[in-house]
Amino acid sequence: MAMNTQALTLMLATQLTVIAITAYFFYRVFTTPPRKEPDSFAENDDEPR
C-alpha cells in the first residue's frame, strides 16, 4: 500500500506549515525583549526603611 501523489503532497504541505508556524513563534519568543517589571514597592518609596 503506497501513498498516492496527492496524499503525499497534502501531508508534506501540512507538516511544513506546522513547522513554519512553530519556528515563527519560537523566533518571536526568543527575540522579544523582556518587559520591565513593575516595582512592587513603589507605594513605599517615601517611607524610611
The DSSP annotation for 1-33 comes to ----HHHHHHHHHHHHHHHHHHHHHHHHHHHSP
Percent of the chain with pLDDT over 70: 73
Residue 41 has pLDDT above 70, yes or no: no
> What pLDDT digit, counting tens, does each position of 13-35 carry?
999 999 999 999 999 999 998 87
**What local confidence, expressed as pLDDT, does residue 5 receive?**
94
Please provide the average confidence, as pLDDT, over all residues in the chain.
85
